[in-house]
Amino acid sequence: MALDKPYLDIPGTIIFDAEQSRKGYWLNQFCMSLMKAENRTRFKADERAYLDEWPMTEEQKQAVLARDLNWCMATGGNIYFLAKIGATDGKSFQQMAGSMTGMSEEAYRNMMINGGRSVEGNRRIGENGDAQRPIAPKHQTS
């Protein structure tokens, strides 16, 4: 019998559930490794070589190299884990969140200062809100 996943019709959102977690296990564990300073240094020195030490899929590696967080999430990444890549790059959480919206950093910051994104039109896929664009990873090749 199918599992109950009532959240699949929310636009612009990937819920990190047990299925996503299974897909993203090595991607997220790679991110965890960046909690250690020596690993951050090694990753920055040769990103591809460091990624190749992990049994991640090629697509996951490409998504990390592209710093495309939507793509990372589609392949099983979770934002709290992916945030370790952002920390390694010296990015704030706001910069990371904003990078997934298609907005410029300044436009996203101004939206937050002005009260954030409205839920109107953004509750369900097919409504007329501003978060309805599909999560189509811009660099995705497969």
Partner 1 sequence: MAKITASVYTSHVPAIGAAMDLGKTEEASWQPLFAGYEYSKQWMKDNKPDVVLLVFNDHATAFSLDMIPTFAIGTADQYQPADEGWGPRPVPVVQGHSALASHIAHSVIQQDFDLTIVNKMDVDHGLTVPLSLMCGSLDPKTDQWPCPVIPFAVNVVQYPVPSGKRCFDLGQAIRKAVESYDDDLNVHIWGTGGMSHQLQGPRAGLINRDWDNAFLDKLIADPVAAAHIPHIDYVRDAGSEGIELVMWLIARGAMSDISDGKQTGIPPTLKHRFYHVPASNTAVGHAILENS
User: CB of residue 121 vs partner 1: minimum separation in angstroms?
Assistant: 11
How large is the angle between the packed helices 79-88 and 25-33, nearest 10 degrees?
40
- The answer to whether residue 108 forms part of the interface with partner 1 (CB under 8 A) is yes
Chain CA centroid to CA 54, Å: 18
Q: Any contact of residue 63 with partner 1 (CB under 8 A)?
A: no
**Distance of closest approach, residue 45 Cβ to partner 1, in angstroms:** 17
C-alpha dist (Å) from residue 53 to 28, 33, 58, 77, 81: 14, 11, 12, 18, 18
64 binds partner 1 (CB under 8 A): no
Which residues are near partner 1 by CB under 8 A?
6-7, 10-18, 21, 25, 28-29, 31-32, 34-35, 69-70, 73, 78-81, 83-84, 86-88, 92-94, 96-98, 100-102, 108, 111-113, 115-119, 122-124, 131-133, 135
